[in-house]
Amino acid sequence: MRILIAGSTGTVGRQIVAQLVSQGHSVRALTRNPEAVLPGAEMVVGNLTDPSTLADAFDGVEAMHLISFDGGGYQPLTTGPQIVELATRAGVKRVTVLGGKDESGVEQALHDSDLAWTVVQPVEFMGNTFSWIPAVQAGVISEPFIDRRSAMVHEADIAAVAVAALTEDGHGGQTYTVTGPEVLTVPEKVEILSKAIGREIDLVELTEAQAREKWAADGLAADIIDFLIWAYGNTPEVGYTVVSTVEDVTGKPARAFAQWCAENAPAFG
C-alpha cells in the first residue's frame, strides 16, 4: 500500500514515516523542501497552500496523512476542500489528520467527504521540551504557571495512533484524543529531565508579564506568545486528563516522559 505523508519532516510526521517504513509500507513524503531526505521514503515536493503543486503526489496513493496548518505561522490551511477533492479523485481510502487547537477547513472537508477519516488530536507534545535546551545548558529554566498540569504525549505514540488508522480498518469517522500515561507539573518534568541528563536544573517561576517579555526577546511572534499564555495559564481539561487511546488503538502502553528524556538526553548537551 502506498501512503502519502504531509508534514513528513515535522515532529510527528517524521515519526509516522519511520514507523510506516519499518513496517514495510511504500511511503511518499510530501515536503516544500527539494533538499529534504527521509530514510526509506520517496520524497515529493509540493505545497498544501497551492493544490496545483500536489497533482503528482497523489498518484497511486491509497492512504494519506494530513496536517491542518500552513508552515507560515501555523495558520489554519484554507485549501482543505481542494486537497480532499484531489484525494477522492485519486482513489484514496483512508485519511488521518493531525488536529491543532481549533478545527480547520481540512477536518471540515473530511467530515463532508466519503473518505474514512480519522482526526488524531494530541495534547502537549513531549517534544516541546526541546525548547528548554538553551535553558538547561545554562542550568536554569524560567517558566510561568509552573503548577500547570499536562498529560504530555510522546511524538512516537501520536504517530503510532496515526499509523494504525492509516493501515487498519475500523478507525474511520473517529476523533482520537491522544495523551501520555501520566499528568506532570513543570517541577515534576524538570526533575525527570534532570535525572535523565544527570545534572541539576534550577527552576524559576516567571510572572505572565515576565514570560511575555522573555519570549518576545527570544523572538517568538506575538500570536504564539498569546497562545502559550492561554495554553499554560488556562490549560483545558483535555490537556491534563489521561486517556487510554494509545493502548486501545496500538495495543501498547503510552510511553512515559522518563523514556522520552532517556532517548533525547544527548540533545541537552
Question: Applying CB under 6 A, which residues contact ligand NAP?
Answer: 6-13, 30-33, 36, 47-49, 67-71, 74, 98, 100-101, 122, 124-125, 128
Residue pair 247/162 in contact (Cβ under 8 Å)? The answer is no
CB of 128 to ligand NAP, least distance (A): 5
Specify the residue, 90 or 199, whose C-beta has the smaller distance to ligand NAP: 90
CB of 88 to ligand NAP, least distance (A): 19
CB of 200 to ligand NAP, least distance (A): 26
Residue 204: Cβ-neighbour burial (10 angstroms; 0-12, 13-18, 19+): exposed
CB of 56 to ligand NAP, least distance (A): 14
How far is it, in rounded angstroms, from Cα 138 to Cα 58? 46
* Residue 48 amino acid letter: L
CB of 205 to ligand NAP, least distance (A): 21
Specify the residue, 30 or 87, whose C-beta has the smaller distance to ligand NAP: 30
Residue nearest to ligand NAP according to CB distances in the complex: 10
The backbone region for 126, taken as left when phi is positive above 0, alpha when psi lies in -120 to 50, beta otherwise, is alpha
Specify the residue, 68 or 118, whose C-beta has the smaller distance to ligand NAP: 68
Instruction: Tell me the C-alpha to C-alpha distance, in Å, between residue 4 and each of 16, 75, 111, 112.
Output: 10, 22, 19, 21
Specify the residue, 102 or 147, whose C-beta has the smaller distance to ligand NAP: 102
CB of 30 to ligand NAP, least distance (A): 6
Specify the residue, 80 or 122, whose C-beta has the smaller distance to ligand NAP: 122
Specify the residue, 182 or 199, whose C-beta has the smaller distance to ligand NAP: 182
